[in-house]
Structure 1
């Protein structure tokens, strides 16, 4: 074929060593284990080994399972690393590793992000699965507080009226929202607001008759125990 032997420009292709795929796999495993605990700078091999020696025993023996549960005890959503809290931070950005399992109930999983006042992870019920939901007060999640009861901080502009031929200008009133509540019904048939975010130990979860899966070294696994965990309702 004419032109088939012409030379390629340097940018037309790249050359990879035979073990390139293994390096990619190693990086993805590193990221699944470390998450953002390295502050954006990759650990050295020595730092990585020290990190694993410190956190892996906690994840293997003190794992906490997190799920969004309806009144009947069904796990409608099994929380994973990327699920979002009402504080707008991901589950992986909360404290998920415990040297000792707390004795008080409910178990609190506080946010680790600077300046966030979140006391414990609360799953954001989302019907669309993409953009953040609005509250029943019709205002977005971003206008609500970051700790219970997550009240709306947005002001409402009242309409101007004429009184005795004098124009009364618009006034700003606080929204009367008593707390964030997503106005949709879960696939289980129950309203979203009747669900709770449940944090439990392996023993507590087994007592409810729910699976706990295998011990895993990965960060912020929450309630995920397998591919079936990605489906709604259990």
Structure 2
């Protein structure tokens, strides 16, 4: 048997790997596959980083209610099957026209702006014509290349976990001031290329999985509102029973019983079970009574004739 290959690194190798990763995150594909010299690297940072920090664009796939269902990052795929980092993301001066177009930088790609396509497991969602997004043209309109003119645009009936269909979502490309005006987080200023909407580790999760909803901090009415059955069991347990409705009070009591860990929970469920049985018996009895009344009403009345002699 051949001996396994063993990689041996000398002192300072880990620092060299970290330096290369930092270089790749800053430069991206701007070096065209040829590493910059130390002088070129420093000149690149002096030229690009100030404008990148000043004119960073936050890109998100947003639902109709304003929630960022997907925050676009460097590796996010576009409709043209190219990554976000392969699109134009750096601007010396931000355009004044909205929406801002982010065209693909690769040759022979006719993608005019970045367009996110949601994934259904390990594959992209299907259009109403039953074909995937990669079966549609990457140019404007996204006509299907397999339908031969029958499908003129990509429109997916797939529903996002937020509850809204995919075709109601839209791409939002905004600067820092516009994002703050919407009440969304902007994170820290970083020198890395094509960061898009990523502001932290929570940005890697979908909107409904993040701790922050993406719609900004709640107002005062959210904290001063009454505690109802839809709130957390901890809040319901400590709420005053007099301030709850009858239904909410029962639900709140159920949450408190579950937390005791005693036989009270079994007693509660037994009471609920007996009450349900009683209600079923009453309904069955009422149904039988109504059936008897209908049968009596359907019987023909007997006509009385003259007495027989």
Specify the TM-score bucket, using the shorter chain as the normaliser: 0.7 to 0.9
SS, match of residue 68 in structure 1: strand
TM-score (normalizing by structure 1): 0.84
**Cα distance, 1:148 vs. partner?**
2.3
Query: 1:148 maps to which residue?
Result: 140
Matched, 1:56 2:62: no
Residues 127-158 of structure 1, C-alpha deviation per residue, up to 9 Å, x if partnerless? 22x33333221112222111221111214xxx
Return the alpha-carbon distance in structure 2 between the equivalents of residues 226 and 189 of structure 1.
25
More helix by share: 2
Return the alpha-carbon distance in structure 1 between the equivalents of residues 56 and 94 of structure 2.
8
Matched, 1:135 2:127: yes
- Flag the structure with more relative contact order, 1 or 2, with Cα contacts below 8 A and sequence separation at least 6: 1
Return the alpha-carbon distance in structure 1 between the equivalents of residues 116 and 8 of structure 2.
45
Residues 70-122 of structure 1, C-alpha deviation per residue, up to 9 Å, x if partnerless? 00000000000111111221110000000001101111111111011111111
**Cα distance, 1:11 vs. partner?**
6.2
Residues 10-62 of structure 1, C-alpha deviation per residue, up to 9 Å, x if partnerless? 86534321211101111111111111111111111111111111111121100
Query: 1:187 maps to which residue?
Result: 161
What is the number of residues matched between the two proteins?
Answer: 207
Query: 1:207 maps to which residue?
Result: 181
**Cα distance, 1:200 vs. partner?**
0.4
Distance 1:82 1:14, change over 3 A: closer
Query: 2:74 maps to which residue?
Result: 81
SS, match of residue 64 in structure 2: coil
Maintained 8 Å contact 2:125/2:158:
no
Return the alpha-carbon distance in structure 1 between the equivalents of residues 192 and 139 of structure 2.
27
More strand by share: 1
Which protein is bigger by CA-based radius of gyration?
2
Maintained 8 Å contact 2:157/2:166:
yes
Query: 1:229 maps to which residue?
Result: 203
Structure 2 gap ranges (5+): 208-213, 215-309
SS, match of residue 60 in structure 2: strand
Structure 1 gap ranges (5+): 1-8, 156-173
TM-score (normalizing by structure 2): 0.64
Of the three residues 16, 36, 44, the one matched with 1:43 is: 36
Distance 1:10 1:126, change over 3 A: closer
Maintained 8 Å contact 1:65/1:201:
yes
Greater shift in the superposed pair: 132-141 or 113-122: 132-141
Maintained 8 Å contact 1:66/1:223:
yes
Return the alpha-carbon distance in structure 2 between the equivalents of residues 67 and 199 of structure 1.
7
